[in-house]
Amino acid sequence: MIGITCYARGGHRESFYVPTEYVDAIRLAGGAPMLLPPIEGEADVLEALDALVLPGGGDIDPVHYGDDDYHPSNYDVSPERDAFELALVRAAVRRPGLPLLCICRGMQVLNVALGGDLVQHVPDRFGERVLHRDPERKPVEHPVRLEAGSQIARLVGSTNLVVRSFHHQAVDRLGEGLRPVAWAEDGVIEAVEHVARPWVIALQWHPEHAAVRDARARELFDAFVAAAAAQGNPAPLRAAR
Confirm if 223 and 153 have CB atoms less than 8 A apart.
no
**Per CATH, domain 2-231 is 3.40.50.880:** yes
Catalytic residue ranges: 104, 206, 208
What's this model's pTM, rounded to 2 decimal places?
0.93
Query: Please, which pLDDT band fits residue 5 given cuts at 50, 70 and 90?
Result: very high
227: Cβ contacts below 8 Å, ≥ 6 apart: 51, 99, 199
pLDDT at 232: 63
Tell whether the model's pLDDT for residue 234 goes beyond 80: no
For β-strands 160-165 and 140-146, DSSP reports them as antiparallel
Where does residue 32 rank: exposed (0-12), middle (13-18), buried (19+ CB within 10 A)?
Answer: middle
Report pLDDT digits (tens) over 170-216.
999 999 999 999 999 999 999 999 999 989 999 999 999 988 888 77
Report pLDDT digits (tens) over 119-156.
999 999 999 999 998 877 778 999 999 999 999 999 98
